[in-house]
Amino acid sequence: MADPDLCTKFEKLLKKYECKYCYFIKWILIPEMIDGRYFCEPGSREFVELDSIDVEHLDRKTSRKNVLHRVMARVNFSGETCSFPLIVKLPKQNIMETTLCGSFLNEEMFYSKMTLNYGTDGISKCYASDLGRFDGQAVIVLEDLVASGYKQVAEKLNENHLKLCMKALATFHGKGLKLKAHKFPIFREFYAKLSEPIDWLHLNTSPGSVRTSELMVESTLDNPECLDTSLYSVLPVEATLSEKIRAKHNITSKLEFNDFWTICHGNFTRSNLFFRYENGYPSDVKVIDWSTMRYCSPSIDFGQILLENLPDDNNLAKVKAFCQNMLEIYLDAVKDVYLEVDRELLERDVIAKLPFAYGMIENRMLRKTGMMLRALDQLGSFD
């Protein structure tokens, strides 16, 4: 009888080497990056060579379009060894497909071009973001945040986490608005690629076009396969509020493209946030997965992170104060990076578009949505 432990060990070993991406990372990507001085400080002239590489297959996301590997690259700098904990993201490419999917291209653009203008605060360090230099394989090579002490939050984000998130989000949105205002030719290249589908713009700027509702348009675009027409048909709130929402629902002239549109993350949720802690409190946040970026109302990102992390409190006044406080933090931080912004107009715009963010939230739990809608009502989103 074979030792079951030995069997699993053997299976693990097999698994470790069967993946063609593991092979690529170990024998092509990392050695070429070392030769190309990707791990050296800019301008350094020290002698550099490969020491060793460990590759771990992160295949919990097998259904996704990308494959992730955790890599430890040890590099020798003039005789001294340094370790680089990395996450390598590679698009799964089908033989039948010759083009990469848009989401990978978005993220590649983010790391190779946008960070040059947006800066790298709040973003994982990127060692390589390239579409073909390494044996024709598209790659994104990032620092492994877990190895640097960052953690994800398993449960809902608390107030301290959320405050950090609001600042990080506002900084990203504000930098985009500033870039749009001051360096439009640069901004144009980014937003042009993130404005798909074009119908979205067209739909919302042409008067008289027939639409079922703006709320539907938004949520359908995001999840074309799960058109939920019942989204607003049954509302877990009081009859008066329900009526109010329905009345608002039929106004189709509100969601227009406007000056506040900027590049948004598109999925600014807990699963894409890593926190560092000092004395038990979150002190820094890093945002990952920029593949869902798009050009839209900043309210979409703001509303998503806010609504998914409302405090567990049935006191409406408290929830309202909590939301207002988060909005203040957000608006102040936008103003910090983009001084010319009309804070008051932006505030009104964010509030008015929050129902769209509500429409985007996946897996809404019925017992929570009542509070989400009441919070939006308190903020004035349905007025």
| Binding positions for Zn ion, rule: CB under 5 A | 19, 21-22, 57
Min dist. Cβ of residue 69 to Zn ion (A): 6
Min dist. Cβ of residue 10 to Zn ion (A): 17
Tokens 């739990």, located at residue: 365
Q: Which residue is nearest to Zn ion (CB)?
A: 19
Min dist. Cβ of residue 56 to Zn ion (A): 8
Of 93 and 378, nearer to Zn ion (C-beta) is: 93
Min dist. Cβ of residue 262 to Zn ion (A): 37
Min dist. Cβ of residue 210 to Zn ion (A): 50
Of 14 and 234, nearer to Zn ion (C-beta) is: 14
- Compute how many other C-beta atoms are within 10 angstroms of the C-beta atom of residue 186: 14
Of 21 and 382, nearer to Zn ion (C-beta) is: 21
Min dist. Cβ of residue 21 to Zn ion (A): 5
Min dist. Cβ of residue 53 to Zn ion (A): 13
Of 53 and 123, nearer to Zn ion (C-beta) is: 53
Q: Which ranges of 81-131 does DSSP label H, i.e. alpha helix?
A: 102-109, 115-118
Of 144 and 284, nearer to Zn ion (C-beta) is: 144
Two tokens at 171? 């900084």
Closest C-alpha to 103, from 166, 214, 194: 194
Which amino acid would we find at residue 178? K
Query: CA 112: distance to chain centroid?
Result: 16
> Residue 114 has what DSSP assignment?
I
Max CA pair span of the chain = 76
CA atoms within 13 A on the CB side of 330: 24
Cβ neighbors of 112 (< 8 A, separation 6 or more) are: 126, 129, 130
Min dist. Cβ of residue 373 to Zn ion (A): 44
- Compute how many other C-beta atoms are within 10 angstroms of the C-beta atom of residue 321: 13
Of 86 and 296, nearer to Zn ion (C-beta) is: 86
> Residue 29 has what DSSP assignment?
I
Min dist. Cβ of residue 153 to Zn ion (A): 28
Instruction: Give the relative orientation of helices 184-194 and 102-109 as an angle to the nearest 10 degrees.
Output: 160
Of 22 and 333, nearer to Zn ion (C-beta) is: 22
SS3 76: strand
Cα–Cα distance between 343 and 320 in angstroms, integer?
A: 20
| DSSP assignment of 263-303 | EE-S--SGGGEEEEEETTEEEEEEE---TT-EEE-HHHHHH
Of 24 and 275, nearer to Zn ion (C-beta) is: 24
Of 54 and 121, nearer to Zn ion (C-beta) is: 54
Query: Could you give the C-alpha distances from 324 to 290, 297, 318, 351, in angstroms and in order?
Result: 27, 19, 10, 10
Two tokens at 358? 């509500």
Tokens 């994800």, located at residue: 152
